[in-house]
Structure 1
Amino acid sequence: MHPRRIAVLGGGPGGLYAARLLRLARPSCEVVVHEQGAPDTTFGFGVGLAAGTQRRLEAADPDTLRDIAATGCRHDMTMRVGGRTARVRNDRLIGVARTELLAILQRHAEKAGVRLEFGSRLAAADLDADVVVAADGVGSATREAGGFGADVQIGRGLFLWCGAGFALPDAVFAPVDTAHGTFVTHAYPYSGGHSTFLIETDERTWRRAGFDATTEALNSGATPPDASDTRSLEYLQEVFAGQLRGHPLIGNRTRWQRFRTVRCARWSDGRVVLLGDAAHTAHFSIGSGTKLAMEDAIALAEALTGENGPAEAFARYEAVRRPAVERLQELARRSQLWWESFPSRTGLPVEQLMVAYMTRAGNVPLDRFAVTAPEVVGAALGQFAGLDGPVPALPDLTGWVLDRPLRHRRRTFPGRVLPAGDDLGPTTLEVTATDPWGGDADALLARAAGAAGVRLTGPPDRPSVLTRLDLAERVRTETGAVVVVRAPAALRDDLAAGLVSGRADLVEWA
């Protein structure tokens, strides 16, 4: 049985795009979007769409992408630390105003014959439809009311979204040290001469600055639900004055939040299917919710078009999308942990920090990054090796890294691979933790206190080795010990990236 009536709960990018694609695929099907807000109001500022997402949108619906690209703003990426800047060319990324994106998607949905209804808060049970697409966001009431096996994990770090009334020339990552601690902004331009400023910090800094009190006051119900944390905005406006160039920060329901990672055992329940943030989230530092939701919409429309009934279509949709989503969620988990521990790295030279940033989740190989950003990687290699200048392009980058000598206090090592039989010291730690900054890792760190050398060993699989590298960084930063990571030689490229990024001092073949 093919659906004759489809209802979409939520008029964000994922819901609107799904509605259009479903209507285009089935012109005889009634498709209605139900959005509780007004058509011209939205949270947020700019949205970033990477090159891969653009290719998928181009294949699914070139007309919509054409309009999105026309209103968007392309830009490179920079990192600024200690008065120095590292630049990476990345102009395939488009920044677009969320208001513009929604207007385009609303217009294209209506052009396809979708009916848009605003201003009513409805539940799936209220809708007379063969299929209900729940695109109602990270706080999805549909998900919470259904049998989806939802699991929501709350991050440690805090962040808020704000904006500014001018367009930055590039995206910028910039940490600033204050009397209270370190704040870091991820800022980027988008259409209309505006920029998004996402600002993050750790809980200790947040409390020292008094933002726990402002957050509590806003959440107490004594202020309107659309109020922004004006005290935080005023403070951060001064902190990031250099990046803002005299412009004020703009709030839009701007409040401190902790990231919520949503996972669901099932994405469908009866006639209801989840889409986008309602089904899954991935930390914004690695992939936007808009990207995931619009790619979900493509897969859902294809599944509902190709299968005989909703149950089969939902199974196909989940089978196609879940592997890609779970892979991105794992990359995002690593990236989130890296950003939540970011203040410990601000002592690195900016080029080395850029390499650490690009390789933080394990999805950008060092040699590939060296091709796209040779100046940055060349400078980082020189900093890693203690040379006076940058290193030119290398035919065997990994081999060169592993061959660099290391002098640590009174010991000198001829290369970064620990020779067989060198016990380094008495402290060997077996690492089974998956969170390098969690309680299990804290216990290992306590055992490393006072050691001159620490060896980290554990399972040979790649995810475990990447975790050991992250923990090694923490051990060497907090104890000053020379730290060696034991791992298979097959993962030498990952180990070399870890060495250049300051995650480890030495490696040892398992």
Structure 2
Amino acid sequence: MQVRRAAVLGGGPGGLYAARLLKLAQPSCDVVVHEQGEPDKTFGFGVGLAAGTQRRLEAADADTLRDILAAGHRHDMTMTVGDRSVRVRNDRLIGIARTELLAVLRRHAEKAGVRIEYGARRAADELDADIVIAADGVSSATRSTGGFGEDIEVGRGLYLWCGAEFALPDAMFAPVGTEHGVFVTHAYPYSGGRSTFLIETDEETWRRAGFDRSTDATPPDASDTTSLRYLEQVFAAQLRGHSLIGNRTRWTRFRTVRCKRWSSGRVVLLGDAAHTAHFSIGSGTKLAMEDAIGLVEALAGEPDAPAAFARYEASRRPDVERMQELARRSQLWWESFPSRLHFPVERLMVAYMTRAGNVPLDRFAATSPDVVAAAAEQYANSKPPARDLVEWVLEQPLRHERAEFPRRVLPAVPDGLALTTFADVVADPWDDAGDAVVARARQARREGADGFRFTGPGDRPAVLTRLDLAERVRTEAGGLVIVDGPPSSRGDLAAGLVSGRCDLVSFSEEAA
């Protein structure tokens, strides 16, 4: 499709990158970006870009990526619980200041011939353009006008973004207990000698600390200084004498955006306007810039806007929905994070890396052998081999109260072991349905049950959800916990054992 005039709503990373790529692909196209804010009033802290995203950006536009990498800050990752820390190498992960990223993208967009207009709020129906690319963010006014079938799911936990004027040596995950409850920071360094501090907690802790009141008292364009001063004390060790910096910083709940359609007429949604994925695994910047690549490729390969938009959505939706599902699992894990603080930090790191099912245990062991070896030894009280870790995990013996098992794979329930069986009954192990399962499990324990067996369909999402539900019951009701799955799920089940999600596993059909 030859586009004569294209309008882009939103001057964030996705909008600027789409504008540049479109102008490079179609030099005769008049591409204008409309950004309601001013370029010197951008808010936000650091943005992270992982290795996979960098590869896609390099293939699409190596010049822009080169400048992003030059402005970025590489770092590894550390988890600290109490006085114990564990470190994982991730030498292609970079953090970059959002302001610097936008400056790079703006410079390259203008170099390609894109015009950028600031300071006015524009709507799609008032723009004279063949296509309108709506990259106007999670609160997209374009999406909310209708035609896209939007659905917004609000998370249970609360979080806020802030920063500090020093660069951490690594990305850091650190929970800290207070008189009100547990707060967790996800912090990482970025360019300019600064660090992002994302801090989250559960609603009960948030209310006990009085942050419901401080949130209500904070104007939309201000920062919640009451929370910032409190959190400086909570994370004093991690801040190393520095203060927290606010920038429209306030507690909020994550909103997962989904749309039945990503286009309507000549308007197409891009990035957070079309979809979001929880920050603990997804990146709005990553998804938006990859959307831009897909959209421009679709426009070049189809004769008209409807066909191009359909191709764009068909090519991008599977990746986005996969990321949203991974992010959903990660979000649920983080919202229930304080329940795991009794584990050694090495096992907790394995639980973190395998929480969403996208990092298999054996792959994590290949990249971080020392961490996984320590976690496996804590799990089994013996040193694991250098190879065949999954099979070794499954073959370890278990003594649980009055029962002994020669291996962690249970071919049949032994005589005299009283188990209550739960078939798959939940989508979210921490919602009301999950609460009901825990209540039933507690009652069963009072009535003499030795433990619980979790069964259900053999598809991978069902197995992963079963592991999460089993973990919650194991933590809150106690008893022996067994999770069923097909032989193809051996890796996930082994990760569940090392992570403390279950005690034993059983195969739907015993593997040879």
TM-score, normalising length: structure 2: 0.97
Q: Is 2:425 the counterpart of 1:432?
A: yes
Partner of 2:44: 44
Counterpart selection for 1:283 from 278, 287, 293: 278
1:427-473 deviation line (CA, Å, top 9, x unaligned):
11112311111111211111111232111111111110110100010
How far, CA to CA, are the matches of 1:458 and 1:36 in structure 2? Answer: 50
Query: How far has the Cα of 1:420 moved from its partner?
Result: 1.5
Counterpart selection for 1:444 from 437, 444, 452: 437
Partner of 1:466: 464
1:398-444 deviation line (CA, Å, top 9, x unaligned):
11111112222222222111242426414111123111111112111
AA matched with 1:248: S
Q: Is 2:485 the counterpart of 1:487?
A: yes
Partner of 1:496: 494
How far, CA to CA, are the matches of 2:95 and 2:78 in structure 1? Answer: 15
**Which ranges of 4 or more aligned residues in structure 1 deviate by more than 6 Å?**
none
How far, CA to CA, are the matches of 1:486 and 1:311 in structure 2? Answer: 46
1:247-274 deviation line (CA, Å, top 9, x unaligned):
0000000000100000000000000000
How far, CA to CA, are the matches of 2:142 and 2:495 in structure 1? Answer: 43
SS of equivalent residue, structure 1 residue 40: helix
Q: Report how many residues are paired.
A: 502
Partner of 1:296: 291
TM-score, normalising length: structure 1: 0.97
Q: Is 2:261 the counterpart of 1:263?
A: no
How far, CA to CA, are the matches of 2:4 and 2:421 in structure 1? Answer: 64
Partner of 1:235: 230
Partner of 1:475: 473
SS of equivalent residue, structure 2 residue 373: helix
Partner of 1:394: 386
SS of equivalent residue, structure 2 residue 292: helix
Query: How far has the Cα of 1:80 moved from its partner?
Result: 0.5
AA matched with 2:391: G
Partner of 1:211: 211
Partner of 1:383: 378
Partner of 2:241: 246
Aligned 8 A contact 2:3 2:26 in 1: no
SS of equivalent residue, structure 2 residue 195: strand
AA matched with 2:352: Y
1:228-259 deviation line (CA, Å, top 9, x unaligned):
00000000000001110000000000000100
1:4-62 deviation line (CA, Å, top 9, x unaligned):
11000000000000000001111111000000000122221000000010011111111
Deviates more, 1:404-413 or 1:116-125: 404-413
How far, CA to CA, are the matches of 1:421 and 1:127 in structure 2? Answer: 68
Query: How far has the Cα of 1:284 moved from its partner?
Result: 0.6
How far, CA to CA, are the matches of 1:150 and 1:422 in structure 2? Answer: 51
How far, CA to CA, are the matches of 1:368 and 1:421 in structure 2? Answer: 32
Structure 1, unaligned stretches of length 5 or more?
none
Aligned 8 A contact 1:432 1:464 in 2: no
Q: Is 2:94 the counterpart of 1:102?
A: no
AA matched with 1:439: D
How far, CA to CA, are the matches of 2:75 and 2:16 in structure 1? Answer: 26
Q: Give the share of equivalent positions with the same residue, in percent.
A: 74
1:301-324 deviation line (CA, Å, top 9, x unaligned):
111122111111101111110000
Deviates more, 1:163-172 or 1:433-442: 433-442
1:264-302 deviation line (CA, Å, top 9, x unaligned):
000000000000000000001112100000000011111
Query: How far has the Cα of 1:341 moved from its partner?
Result: 0.3
How far, CA to CA, are the matches of 1:322 and 1:432 in structure 2? Answer: 28
Aligned 8 A contact 1:79 1:354 in 2: yes
SS of equivalent residue, structure 2 residue 481: strand
Aligned 8 A contact 1:476 1:504 in 2: yes
Aligned 8 A contact 2:384 2:392 in 1: no
How far, CA to CA, are the matches of 1:153 and 1:499 in structure 2? Answer: 31
Query: How far has the Cα of 1:392 moved from its partner?
Result: 4.8
Partner of 2:157: 157
